[in-house]
């Protein structure tokens, strides 16, 4: 792979939160960053304060194959390679399992899981041709520990974890590396954009749901900035042999480690004490 400082990076969901912080950090380090948002009609470019790095924001909806095709076509018209894909776009739907319609469950998976699948399938042919590439999927601690009233969000991230582990083995033969970052609570636009299932505020689960949501929102709003997650992404980019996953933040690393060691019933007890 060429020197880091001329690499082309594509980050989905770079208009806010973790994606935006990553895009600006990489631009300042000299990368050619293509960031995406559903909300822009045409491209806009910001240049790094020093060096040749830039951030070009381009339109993309990871739920639309046509939008993905246009995005990849655009980048390959501008650049001769796509070196790094960061699948970051995502959102959360909250509500009990019983209160979740199929359409709501699908909507959650459409962005958080199928969106990543579409993006990987769109970029892999070019990465195989280049005989190198790096894909970083932004998962979640909720992809390792399931959270009540966020079951579809957790399920979409568990599915992402499973796909990422398999993809990593499959594409190694082509010189392509795959890794995940698992953020814990992070202060971003995620909380304000969280959607609720249609009858979550008017159902037999509503009292516990409301308490649980209050805890989640308080924890997210008091959480650290995306810096920890950006540092984990940088560690992967700078590694010759990136790990399968990096859980961002010391306390979450301990939590994930304990989940593997402790009996499942104990983990369930702790999670239900926090959220239910």
Supply the minimum distance, in Å, between the C-beta of residue 49 and ligand NDP.
22
Candidate residues 63, 201, 234, 255; the one interacting with ligand NDP per rule CB under 6 A: 63
Q: Which is nearer to ligand NDP, 132 or 231 (CB)?
A: 231
157 is catalytic: yes
Q: Taking the CB of residue 63, how many other CB atoms lie within 10 A of it?
A: 15
Interface with ligand NDP: number of residues (CB under 6 A): 32
- Stretch of 10-18, 70-78, 119-127, 199-207 contacting ligand NDP, by CB under 6 A: 10-18
Supply the minimum distance, in Å, between the C-beta of residue 202 and ligand NDP.
26
Q: What does the per-residue mask of binding to ligand NDP show for 204-243, with x meaning CB under 6 A?
A: ----------------x-----------------------
Candidate residues 54, 91, 114, 174; the one interacting with ligand NDP per rule CB under 6 A: 91
Out of 15, 16, 146, 206, which one is annotated catalytic? 15
Q: Which residues are catalytic?
A: 15, 139, 153, 157
Binding site for ligand NDP (CB under 6 A): 12-19, 36-39, 60-63, 88-91, 111, 115, 138, 140, 183, 185-186, 188-190, 193, 220
């Amino acid at each position: 792979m060429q020197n880091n400082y001329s690499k082309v990076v594509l980050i989905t969901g770079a208009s806010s939160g973790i994606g935006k912080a990553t895009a600006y950090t990489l631009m300042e380090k000299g990368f050619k960053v293509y960031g995406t948002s559903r909300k822009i009609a045409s491209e806009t470019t910001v240049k790094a304060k020093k060096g040749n790095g830039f951030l070009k924001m381009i339109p993309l909806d990871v739920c639309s194959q046509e939008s993905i095709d246009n995005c990849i076509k655009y980048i390959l018209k501008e650049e001769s390679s796509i070196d790094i894909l960061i699948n970051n776009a995502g959102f959360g739907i909250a509500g009990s399992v019983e209160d979740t319609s199929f359409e709501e469950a699908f909507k959650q998976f459409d962005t958080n899981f199928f969106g990543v699948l579409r993006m990987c399938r769109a970029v892999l042919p070019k990465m195989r041709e280049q005989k190198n590439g790096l894909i970083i999927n932004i998962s979640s601690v909720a992809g390792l520990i399931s959270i009540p009233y966020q079951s579809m969000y957790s399920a979409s991230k568990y599915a992402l974890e499973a796909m990422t582990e398999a993809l990593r083995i499959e594409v190694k033969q082509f010189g392509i590396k795959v890794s995940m970052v698992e953020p814990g609570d992070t202060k971003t636009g995620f909380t304000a954009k969280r959607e609720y299932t249609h009858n979550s505020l008017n159902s037999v689960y509503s009292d516990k749901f409301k308490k649980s949501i209050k805890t989640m929102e308080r924890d997210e709003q008091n959480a650290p900035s995306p810096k920890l997650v950006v540092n984990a992404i940088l560690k992967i980019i700078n590694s010759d042999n990136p790990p399968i996953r990096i859980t961002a933040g010391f306390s979450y690393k301990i939590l994930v480690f304990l989940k593997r060691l402790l009996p499942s019933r104990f983990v369930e007890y702790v999670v239900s004490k926090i959220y239910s």
